[in-house]
Amino acid sequence: MNKALNISIWVFSILMIVALLGFVESKNIDVQCNDIDISIDRPNKNFFVMEEDVRNMVLNLGYGEGMRINQVDISHLERLLNNNSSINHAEVYSTIDGVLKVELTQRNPILRVFTEDGDSYYVDENGWMMPLSNKFTSRVVVANGAVKTPLLYETNVMDDEQEEQSLKDLYQIASFIDDNSFWKAQIVQLYVKENGDIQLIPRVGNHEILFGKAEKIDDKFDKLMIFYKQGLSKTGWNGYKTINLKYNNQVVCTKK
């Protein structure tokens, strides 16, 4: 008896849910769009995507106030937004009172690359290449030198298909710098030499830091920090011309 009662309650609950969903769907047919609410999460206060541009895109697609909310192709709108190389994630949905919600998260660049061919682009914190913006310039570490223009744009620099090794090295070093508040303030430029070695240019001090390849990154920065604390504290920030981190367990320096 209890089993039959439980089954009846379960079936009744399912029917009520289906009926409620049908009621909401029928109500949505008559609900008009009365507002477009756009919110943008901007890591590090970067303004690559503006609310006005997103609103104009929505309106140009024919979606606006006064139309029935169920006529908005939400999946299509999300795809268009997610295909924007400055947007990390987009979510679009509507409320029962007729508000079209557009929620975006921007990509967060950590590196700006200048290639030897004269091209320039950003690389975000997840390794994705981003085009420059004519509205906003992000203050990030700059990389130049012997960097070739990649064959694949708007892709991830760490993909196996990406053949530009110097770009992978730059991204790995820039990622480490971005995660450390001291190095983020101190290192302003990465320079790629013809042999692929990477040189760091500091904000404070006239020395050059020969980093080498993107190998043992943690160890190299640890050695540099120790040298900053123990070596430069005695000689001053401008006492050395070069600081070489390429050798294991030691820092080789050239005085001015």
pLDDT single digits (tens) 163-186: 678 889 999 999 999 999 999 999
Checking if the pLDDT of 22 tops 50, the result is: no
> What are the boundaries of each domain within the chain?
1-30, 32-100, 109-255
User: What mean pLDDT is predicted for residues 55-62?
Assistant: 89
Q: pLDDT (tens digit, 9 = 90+) per residue, 199-241?
A: 999 998 888 899 999 999 999 999 999 888 887 766 676 777 8
pLDDT for position 81: 94
Backbone angles phi, psi at 176, to 5 degrees: -65, -45
Q: pLDDT (tens digit, 9 = 90+) per residue, 98-113?
A: 899 999 999 999 999 9
Q: Are strands 109-114 and 141-145 parallel, antiparallel or unpaired?
A: parallel
- Cβ proximity of 145 and 192 under 8 Å: yes
Helix axes 51-60, 74-82, angle to 10 degrees: 140
pTM of the model: 0.81
For the ranges 17-26, 56-65, 121-130, the one whose mean pLDDT is highest? 121-130
Dihedral angle sign, alpha carbons of residues 183, 124, 102, 47: positive
User: What mean pLDDT is predicted for residues 17-21?
Assistant: 47
User: What mean pLDDT is predicted for residues 65-69?
Assistant: 78
Q: How is residue 83 written in tokens?
A: 């295909």
Checking if the pLDDT of 161 tops 80, the result is: no
Nearest 5°: CA angle at 174, between 172 and 179?
100
Q: How is residue 72 written in tokens?
A: 């908005």
> What is 109-255's CATH number?
3.40.50.11690
Average model confidence (pLDDT) for the chain? 84
Nearest 5°: CA angle at 199, between 218 and 217?
10
What whole-number distance in Å separates Cα of residue 199 and Cα of residue 210?
Answer: 5
Give the single-character DSSP code of 128: B
